[in-house]
Amino acid sequence: MAYVRPHLDIFISYYLLTPLIMNKSNIITWVGLVSFTLLTFYSSEALFTGKQLALVLMGIVVVKFLGIGYQFIELKRAHTVWKVLFTGFILVFGLLVVVFA
The site for other proteins (CB under 8 A) is made up of: 15, 18-19, 22-24, 26-27, 29-30, 33-34, 37-38, 40-41, 44, 49-50, 53-54, 57-58, 60-61, 64-65, 68-69, 71-75, 77-79, 81-82, 85, 89-90, 93, 96-97, 100-101
Least CB distance from residue 12 to other proteins, whole Å?
14
Question: How far apart are the C-alpha atoms of 45 and 31, rounded to whole Å?
Answer: 21
Q: How many CA atoms lie within 13 A of 73 on its CB side?
A: 12
Nearest to 60 by CA among 85, 82, 18, 32: 32
Contact 71, 57 (CB under 8 A): no
* CB nearer other proteins, residue 8 or residue 26: 26
User: Which residue number, 4 or 20, has a Cβ lying nearer to other proteins?
Assistant: 20
